[in-house]
Structure 1
Amino acid sequence: MGGTGTRERASTRLTRDRGLCFQMNFSAARFCVLTLVSVCEAYSIGLPITQAKKPVWQSTSFAKRLWPFRHRLQPVRQANQRPVQSLFQPSRSTKQDFGQKATGRDVKLTNHHDNLYSCPITIGTPGQEFNVTFDTSSSITWVFSIHAPLAHSRKHEYKRYNRELSRTHYTKYKRFDVLYDSGQVTGYLSEDRVTIAGLTIKNQSFGKALLGPDLFRHTTNDGILGLGLGNIDGEEEPSVFDNMVSQGLLEAPVFSIYLNRYGSGGPDSVLTFGGTNPYYCEEDFTFVDLTEPHGWQFKIDRVQPSSGDGIFSESGYQAVVDSSSSFIVGPFEEVHALNTQLGGMLFEGNHGLYNYKFNCSEVDNLPDVEFIVSGKKLPLSSRDYIAKMKEKGESFCVSSICGMKWIEGGEPDWFLGLSFMRAYYSQFDKGNRRIGFAKAYSFPRI
């Protein structure tokens, strides 16, 4: 039967060590999507930072402030994009151009209105099923414990892990506390078998949460799957992906992510462990080396519109790929300059988003935004960085490139969230300590 334990022998304490944050409240004004209410208190899911005195590589994204409003203010789809019923597949010749075959093990991801993507996992023997949000910026995996109180105000009652039902459970007697923008997750670490994409990881450490953020009552998720690089937040506890590699479960020490657009009619979003699939991309990968040992962090040389001077730093910018963030987040001054150069963007004083002041049907006239990585341009079209929002039957468009001011050092400069990841098929290569980006296949809009 499952292991037991009542005394805490050690503590895993995760603390937020972040910069200037904003609390967001709903605004009735047509172009005032979100209003800044206070500083240094962010109201969002805000997935965890890491411990103090460690390289800060986990998510602190501005875009997550949309989470409290998803049940009231939802992105409809990318601008000028209409849902289709048919499933378009790329031609055979397109897939053969790469001279490669698909490798690895796939798990289908569920797209929640372009806000987040989730996948199924099981924990224990026999397996207990959970639906979790995968997070490339965090290494910790956790689900709610059977001892966590049910959220009666939540439409979806989260599934809870019961150690007594698993014959492979082991209690580690270590407490974990994860501080989110919206509240704290508190519980204990355990070990058990975790299965995803048909791969079973033995003796995997994970958190059993007793208390969680209130915002989880607005989602259909039961926890977080951490796909960050490195041990679990300072402890000698390998992450799920690290254990996949060390236990010899993968053909190669990589995973790859393809994310579709909600209602696009394209193929399902897919997370592939142990390889890549050329089906999902139009070109070869552009690779960039990692710059930190504890996360998927790399250097951006420059950010610029396709028409304009752009923004740059002599030393470049540090960036992370952050699947827990809906939007793209960068330094406030640079983001302001970039959105200004794009034209047609209206920054509403103290408001957190840049609104497109013309009709959404005209966003195709906007220039591309180019991220220069390893000397190569990675362009985002307006279809990628403009989000169409809907409130009370009215539609309007906003830039998904948002600014943030940091008080203390240590943060990456840019967080490339889902708006970026939908445009680029991404390969996370632990063996070569690099990340690869290939333009995602463009499925037609009808």
Structure 2
Amino acid sequence: MQPSFGSFLVTVLSASMAAGSVIPSTNANPGSFEIKRSANKAFTGRNGPLALARTYAKYGVEVPKTLVDAIQLVKSIQLAKRDSATVTATPDHDDIEYLVPVKIGTPPQTLNLDFDTGSSDLWVFSSDVDPTSSQGHDIYTPSKSTSSKKLEGASWNITYGDRSSSSGDVYHDIVSVGNLTVKSQAVESARNVSAQFTQGNNDGLVGLAFSSINTVKPTPQKTWYDNIVGSLDSPVFVADLRHDTPGSYHFGSIPSEASKAFYAPIDNSKGFWQFSTSSNISGQFNAVADTGTTLLLASDDLVKAYYAKVQGARVNVFLGGYVFNCTTQLPDFTFTVGEGNITVPGTLINYSEAGNGQCFGGIQPSGGLPFAIFGDIALKAAYVIFDSGNKQVGWAQKK
């Protein structure tokens, strides 16, 4: 993922996969493993407008000022609830509350990172960031790692649709996730960060999209997954995201619970896990499976058709998206994967409280993007298989 723009770190940049990237050394025959996400203790509750703005920024859609204002409005509502002596605010557990511990360097420095299938950079807060900007974050200190080696002449610079940015240097270092170690992984070490990044509670992310959209210049680097995939029993990983519990990622094998998945071929020409689908309220369209996005974003027509089934649902211009009465029971959302169907329960689509008895929907307009974004609202309904070997995605409905 990640409660700020810092959770969604990479705007899509056009980059070609360059030859000559360092070939990493990995430990022998790790086979497959599962890594569980851990709770982010700094989580303070869901903010619907913020989740929507993050995704717009990530994919280069201009963030309207009204949406920026709405973020602060919802934050003020949440603060008022926490300060009240008569109303108790119990933050919902959510995808943005969970992170993955990752060890970097020798001796290992542990940072809590978000796994993001919608980007391709391993980005971290570092000791080069001004201490006032990195406060509250665990940081990577290259000088304290005996295995760290600076990649001279390499840099990265991420810019969002709202013109916030982050940039820095690149190191090669040991990176361990679970029981698997890559001995020469590109680690993008932040030097400058915008305020939106510093407000997050995660320490960076691990991009799991395709290496073709890695942002390092002059030579794009391989993702951590691309570096270890040859050592796995099978070239796959599975996202098992959960509601009200951390969930996990499986690398190198498919858990038995996901054995009855439906599959669809992917188009990775833009670097994403993109597949063709259709829904029970719309025709054929393309969608990107993105663990680094919270909401489900789709075309205006599809979103309008969905909320036409919800009595009293409307676009709230102050909150920047569709809202409805919190007592309303939302309909399910069903979409196709290959020859099968996956259903997102309506309970998952009621994303967050927005004040005055209104709730913010987990399905929102995509801002004119040429594809839908199936974020965690959709992903939590299924085991999602990212199969790079067969260039396909699989979805297995959760019961």
TM range (shorter): 0.7 to 0.9
Counterpart of 2:250? 272
Is 1:175 paired with 2:155? yes
SS of residue paired to 1:221: coil
Give the equivalent residue in structure 1 for 2:275.
298
Q: Which of the pair has more CA radius of gyration?
A: 1
Q: Give the SS at the match of 1:115.
A: helix
Matches for 1:95-244 after TM superposition, within 5 Å: 113-115=94-96, 117-151=98-132, 157-173=136-152, 174-181=154-161, 183-231=164-212, 232-233=214-215, 235-244=219-228
| 2:394 matched residue in structure 1 | 436
User: Which ranges in structure 1 are unaligned for 5 or more consecutive residues?
Assistant: 1-13, 19-31, 36-41, 50-58, 77-82, 84-110, 305-309, 442-446
Give 1:420's match in structure 2, choosing from 350, 362, 378.
Answer: 378
SS of aligned partner of 1:161 = coil
Segments of 5+ residues of structure 2 without an aligned counterpart are: 1-9, 15-46, 82-89
Counterpart check, 1:401 vs 2:385: no
Checking the alignment, whether the CA contact within 8 Å between 1:186 and 1:211 is kept in structure 2 is yes
Work out the CA distance in 2 between the residues paired with 1:229 and 1:166: 28
2:242 and 2:233 mapped to 1: Cα distance? 25
Question: Partners of 1:208 and 1:217 in 2: how far apart?
Answer: 14
TM-score of the aligned structures, taking structure 1 as reference length: 0.67
| 1:371 aligned residue | 335
Specify the alignment match of 2:302 in structure 1: 334
1:316-355 CA distances to partner (integer Å, 9 max, x unpaired)? 2111111222111112233223322444422235752211
Q: Percent identity?
A: 23
**3-state SS, counterpart of residue 211 of structure 2:** coil
Question: For residues 225 and 71 of structure 1, do their structure 2 counterparts lie closer, same or farther at Cα, with a shift above 3 Å needed?
Answer: farther
State the Cα distance separating 1:181 from its structure 2 match.
4.3
Residue type at the aligned position of 1:404: S
Q: 1:46 Cα deviation (Å)?
A: 5.6
The whole-number CA distance in structure 2 between the counterparts of 1:303 and 1:213 is 38
Give the TM-score of the pair, scaled to structure 2. Answer: 0.74
2:72 & 2:315 partners in 1: Cα distance? 22
In structure 2, the residue matched to 1:355 is 323
Change (3 A) 1:323 1:418: same
- What is the number of equivalent residue pairs in this alignment? 338
Contact 2:211 2:220 in 1 (8 A): no
Q: Shift of residue 70 of structure 1?
A: 7.5
Q: Distance in 2 between matches of 1:116 and 1:68?
A: 19
Quickly say closer, same or farther: Cα 1:170–1:219, change in 2 above 3 A.
same
**Match for residue 238 of structure 2?**
256
Distance 2:255 2:357 in 1: 36
Residue 225 of structure 1 aligns to a residue in which SS?
A: strand
Which residue of 294, 299, 311 maps to 2:282?
311
> Do 1:68 and 1:215's aligned partners in 2 also have CA atoms closer than 8 Å?
no
